[in-house]
Amino acid sequence: MSARSLHVAVPRTAAKSSARRPQPVRSLVARGLADRWRSVLAWGIGGGLMCAFTAGVYPSIQDSLGQALEGYPEGLKEAFSIGELSSVEEYLSAEAFGWIVPIAVSFFAIRSAVRSIAAAEEAGHLDALMSAPVSRRELVGATFITTAISTVGVLALVALLTGTSAAVFGAGLSTGLLLAGTANVWPFAMVFGALALVVTGLRPGPGVTTGVSGAVLVAMYVIDLVGKLADPVEFLRHLSLFKYYGMAIRDGIDPLAFAGITLGALLLAALGAWLFDRRDLDG
Amino acid sequence: MVCAENYGSGSAPHADGPGQRRSYGLLMQKRLTPMAVIETRALSKRYGSHRGIEDISLQVERAEVFGFLGPNGAGKTTMIRTLLDLLHPTGGQALIFGLDAHRDSLEIRSRLGNLPGSYATDAHLTGRQILNLLAGVRGLADLGRAEELAQRFRADLDRPLAHLSRGNRQKIGLIQALFHRPELLLLDEPTTGLDPLMQEEFMRLVAEERERGVTVFVSSHELNEVERICSRVAIIGDGRLIAVEAVADLLGRASRNVTLQFDGPAATDELSKLDGVHDLEERDGRVAFKLTGDVNPMLTVAARHRLRDFQVTRPSLEEVFLTYYSQDAA
């Protein structure tokens, strides 16, 4: 007798008096977001205050910036994408959105992804959850969506505080460019959140997953920096996501780069789900 | 093997109230004949070069309370986690409800409840939040019988687990395993941390679930508890199955502890020559020994003498369990 025919043979004793369609991804995302609002506030307000300060001081220092920059080596200015700094957008790009913000928000995404699976697995929290009808792929998918929404929350706070500060101090910040600059961080950070899911699929535990994903992020930044400073190794920049990240707060979003990076994040998340599906769960 | 058509379409009649549940239990009794709810065929799980379980073949039938016994590290939890597809087997196959435990895992898990050993979840969540999440995942619009179970186990669903004692967290674990009225319960050390009153309540609940047609697979160190609630047990050691037997048979076949207090010289020589008598000790006319097999030759010898006292006790499951392991170790 086939397994299927036996399956038909078994009665269902579960009383589904008030049954509805199972929604594992929706339920997991709702729970994940409820668990994360404090960390979204902490990371969003932290990053937002830093950017708000940067935007707020610009009007008072913009006249002296030109003189200060004259003494900077050209290579250094190029490495840190420092142009004339003749606008608050350029200043924000050089001081925050060119490196600190994408690195910090990427770490947030890594931690969010690690929390839902690798950390939960190490703490033994997944056994009860995975005894319910939720597939490994749904768990990874829900984690990716939760991380994506949480990251939007962090970036929205950053944009809100930065825009408010710029308006209060009369920095003349373009709302469109501010939104473009913050939105551009999202796919970048999601790549590293998804990378954490790939590493999770290889089962090294939460510490190593965070470490490896963070190390790749920092390594990409260093490669990009070195590539800008030294022409002979400039080609290495192709290995870094920072090369494709651009300066959206100054130039607006490059739709092709935005879509490509988003696609990369989705592919990494899919790879993570495939790897996670194939391995044992630690108990 | 049971034919599919004996069971109709397999869809569950609604069983909203207790009365309806009872009638559904009767319906099940009438319509169903025994079948294996869990069947493993040479199921093995190795962790690299380390042993997990090896060649485990057993069947657990519907509405059976089946005990899975073994010392720490014997492979009990590995067995349960392999059935749940949390671990992928390295050999053999497991079928639950006749479905492949790996390929059809989602369908299987929608019909079972599991209490993991060392139940753990996010400690900042309350029991109600945990149950709401699981209800959503399972497609339940409400918390089913969670309130009834919480009342029964005196569990607090509204305090974060971090603020609960181990026993009270275990109650939440039991409720999440049971609240959706599963057809199969997998329970790994279910009474850990529960006080004696709650242990009694748990055993009553298991008996009720069995009456309702639920199959229970329970791994436990509490052999007194297993002896009371299980109809059959499997004994596992070093990842291998040592025995699968009805508890009654296991106890019935085991050595009896016999003590004869002779009123005069003890018949030590006669008794020691009997088949099945071993570990005989004599002191001041009191002879104690273990007896396996037929009791009549021993009674015949005893009847030829005058006795002051006579006692035969069956061993507890714990003693039987230890005997198995001492034999296995030897």
| pLDDT for B284 | 87
Query: Which of A2, A4, A5, A7 to mutate: most B Cβ within 10 Å?
Result: A7
- State the pLDDT at residue B314: 77
pLDDT higher than threshold 50 for residue B12 = no
The pairs formed by A271-274 with CB atoms below 8 angstroms and a separation of 24 or more are: A271/A198, A271/A201, A272/A140, A272/A194, A272/A196, A272/A197, A272/A198, A272/A199, A272/A200, A272/A201, A273/A136, A273/A137, A273/A140, A273/A141, A273/A197, A273/A201, A274/A137, A274/A201
Distance, in angstroms, between B169 CA and closest chain A CA? Answer: 13
Q: For A17, which of B16, B81, B118 is closest by C-beta distance? A: B16
Q: Is residue A75 within 8 angstroms of chain B, CB to CB?
A: no
**The pLDDT of residue B193:** 92
Question: Which of left, alpha, beta for A227 (phi over 0: left; psi -120 to 50: alpha)?
Answer: alpha
The reply to whether residue A128 touches residue B144, judged by beta carbons under 8 angstroms, is no
pLDDT of residue B318: 73
B-facing residues of A in 33-52 (CB < 8 A) are 35
| Nearest residue, CB atoms, A13 vs list B12, B16, B109 | B12
Sheet strands side by side (includes B256-262): B277-283, B286-291, B256-262, B307-313
What pLDDT does B114 receive?
97
pLDDT at B14 over 50: no
pLDDT above 70: percentage of residues in chain B: 88
Contacts of B23 (CB under 8 A, 6+ apart): B15
The string of pLDDT tens digits covering residues B232-278 is 999 998 899 998 999 888 777 778 889 999 998 899 999 999 998 99
DSSP summary character for residue B140: B
Contact A11 B12 (CB under 8 A): yes
Contacts of B109 in chain A (CB under 8 A): 130-134
Burial bucket for residue B121 (CB in 10 Å: 0-12, 13-18, 19+): buried
Number of C-beta neighbours around residue B33 at 10 A: 12
Instruction: Yes or no: say if B140 and A18 are a contact pair by the CB < 8 Å rule.
Output: yes
| pLDDT at residue B25, rounded to an integer | 42
Please list every residue in chain B whose beta carbon sits closer than 8 Å to the beta carbon of residue A131.
84, 86, 109, 112-114, 116, 177, 186
For residue B235, give how far its alpha carbon lies from the nearest alpha carbon of chain A (Å). Answer: 22
pLDDT tens sequence across B133-170: 999 999 998 897 999 999 999 999 999 999 999 999 99
Q: Is the pLDDT of residue B328 over 70?
A: no
The chain-wide mean pLDDT, for chain B, equals 86
Mean pLDDT to the nearest integer, B185-197: 94
Q: What is the pLDDT of residue B11?
A: 35
| Residue numbers in B near A126 (CB within 8 A) | 86
Look up the ipTM and state it.
0.85
Please answer yes or no on whether A13 and B173 come within 8 Å at the CB atom.
Answer: no
pLDDT-based confidence at B224, cuts 50/70/90? confident
pTM of the model: 0.83
- For each of chain A's 283 residues, which pLDDT tens digit applies? 344 434 433 444 444 446 778 889 999 999 999 999 999 999 999 999 999 999 999 999 988 877 777 777 777 777 776 666 789 999 999 999 999 999 999 999 999 999 999 999 999 999 999 999 999 999 999 999 999 999 999 999 999 999 999 999 999 999 999 999 999 999 999 999 999 999 999 988 999 999 999 999 999 999 999 998 888 999 999 999 999 999 999 999 999 999 999 999 999 999 999 999 999 998 7
Measured in degrees and rounded to the nearest 5, phi and psi for residue B43 equal: -70, 130
Whether residue B46 lies within 8 A of chain A, CB to CB, comes out as no
pLDDT tops 70 at residue B13: no
